[in-house]
Structure 1
Amino acid sequence: MTAQHKKIKFPIWQYLNQPLFSGDSQLELNPRRFAHGWRIKLLKRCWTRECDAKGPQQH
């Protein structure tokens, strides 16, 4: 893979679709802070995702 494929682009759609009046999440207007938090959440989602490198297991 080349370097251009490894870089995660700015999540513009997620940034623009932030809930304005939500008690569950806080609105972040600073794009750099938003991108930082979004990347951390993405990493956590990827880390907790279940993945089997061996393929389906047979019982």
Structure 2
Amino acid sequence: MAEKHTKIKFPLWQYLNQPLFSRDSQLELNPQRFAHSWRIGLLKRCWHKECDAKGHQQS
């Protein structure tokens, strides 16, 4: 049986693959700060995905 609350581990791959010279995103060297902002972005992406799915209901 799967746990209801699974802890999201540190996004190591995303941290290591940050763009170095990007105008769109800023390089974050502090791992805790990066993980915090990445989790917020994940939450926003999930929230938008759920909202998009609700708009396509059949009658």
**TM-score band, normalised by the shorter chain?**
0.7 to 0.9
Identity of aligned residues (%): 70
1:2 aligns to 2:13 (yes or no): no
What is the total number of aligned residue pairs between the two structures? 55
TM-score by length of 1: 0.79
Aligned to 2:48: 48
Deviation of 1:6 after TM superposition, in Å, equals 1.1
Superposition misfits of 4+ residues, deviation over 4 angstroms: none
CA RMSD of aligned residues (A): 1.9
Structure-2 separation of matches of 1:22 and 1:2: 38
TM-score by length of 2: 0.79
